[in-house]
Amino acid sequence: MSKAPHVRKAQPGFRWQSVDLEAYKEAGGAPFKAVTRQVLFQRPELACELRYFEVRPGGHSTLERHEHAHAVVVFRGRGACLVGDEIYEVAPPDLVLVPPMTWHQFRATAGEPLGFLCMVNAKRDKPLLPTDADLEELKQNPAAAAFLEA
């Protein structure tokens, strides 16, 4: 990340001064589609990180779970998220809590970008991807099955 001033002015296109636009994750291990990430705050004196993710229309974040929780504020657009095996339609300024070890995924389903702020612990574990058995269990809920197959 670039040098972090105390105030980072908003820029056009849901960007911020002195904040790098990055790939959502490194390519290869975790399936996702059309997602970018900006780390807004990542400082040694903070116990958390604040990031902004943007999912382009038709895109989705990785289906994953981990020991740490997420606190999400939907900031732009509309879409849907899976939390556990439940599907929720989301739009600004909805709040989403992702508890520890809960499957989750965000999708831009409304033909527009879905942007959200996400706060996580600065020190956190690596995400786990679902096994075939995990996917079968999630798909026991017809709504979750339709979401995952979209």
pLDDT digits (tens, 9 = 90+) for 31-52: 899 999 999 999 989 999 999 9
Average pLDDT of the residues in 58-73: 96
Structural domain total, the chain: 1
**Domain carrying residue 123:** 17-149
Residue ranges of alpha helices (H) inside 4-141 are: 132-138
Q: Please check the confidence at residue 14 and state whether its pLDDT lies above 60.
A: yes
Q: Band of the pLDDT at 27, cuts 50, 70, 90?
A: low
**For residues 86 and 34, what is the distance between their CA atoms, to the nearest angstrom?**
23
Cβ neighbors of 89 (< 8 A, separation 6 or more) are 78, 79, 80
Catalytic site residues?
Answer: 118
* CATH code of residue 24: 2.60.120.10
Residue 21 vs residues 17, 92, 105, 140: alpha-carbon distances, Å:
11, 22, 21, 37
